[in-house]
Amino acid sequence: MRRMVRLVPVGALFLCAWLSPFSDGVSKGNSEYKKKNYSAAIEHYKKAREHARDDKERALVDFNTGDAEYAQGNYERAVEYYSSAAKQGDPDMAKRSLFNMGNAYLKSGKKRDAAESYTKALLIDPEYEKARKNLEYLHKQNGQDKNNNDKNKDKGDSGKDKRESGDKQAGGEMTPEQAARIFESMRNRPVRKKKGDRSGRRALEKYW
């Protein structure tokens, strides 16, 4: 007696995937993001997160939400979502989240926090060129800031607004000692610059 083989139409499988609340929410969120409707994208991502089945799916939604917040200039919120994604996802997700977190910190003027985020990404993947490139950018900028500060001191510039210098410290300006420690591991790993990409510091990672 022949055994009956039950065939499932391919179309039905695609329909089930499309009807998944998580997949549907992420897809709609991505569509709105590409249209630059960031607030709408965030709403879809939040709905998708309610139907996430595991930490990996939650990390994916948090990552995308962080990108949408970043695109609106909400850097503190973006950091919160990237931080959540880094803690829940796999190593690849974690390093991308930390890289984008560094970009958000950099946009906020928090250079020390940005450097720490890029460094953590490199601890996960030492070959992560984007993170190394941004660290080199910060290293050069920190050197320029130090030279400018030394010049101002030499000139005896007493007319500087005290709040301005205070803001810089609050923003996380690195000390020479901290910078030296961070870039110690980079001495034998020079960044290979690509044509048309001066620093790479504005490019976000995508995970769609």
The model's pLDDT over 4-22, given as tens digits with 9 standing for 90+, comes to: 555 545 554 444 445 589 9
Contact 199, 137 (CB under 8 A): yes
Could you read off the pLDDT of 25-79 as tens digits, one per residue?
A: 999 999 999 999 999 999 999 999 999 999 999 999 999 999 999 999 999 999 9
- Residue 166 burial by CB count (10 A; 0-12/13-18/19+): exposed, middle or buried? exposed
Q: State how far Cα 197 lies from the chain centre.
A: 18
User: Model-level pTM greater than 0.75?
Assistant: no
Q: Which residue has the higher pLDDT, 125 or 163?
A: 125
Place of tokens 């000390």: 175
Could you read off the pLDDT of 99-140 as tens digits, one per residue?
A: 999 999 999 999 999 999 999 999 999 999 999 999 998 888
Place of tokens 């250079």: 111
Beta strands in the chain (DSSP E): none
For the record, the structure tokens of 2 come out as 């022949």
Q: How far apart are CA 103 and CA 55, in angstroms?
A: 24
Contact 114, 99 (CB under 8 A): no
Q: How far apart are CA 70 and CA 38, in angstroms?
A: 9
Domain ranges of the chain: 24-153+167-186
Q: Which CATH architecture describes the domain 24-153+167-186?
A: Alpha Horseshoe (1.25)
Q: In angstroms, what is the C-alpha Rg of the chain?
A: 22
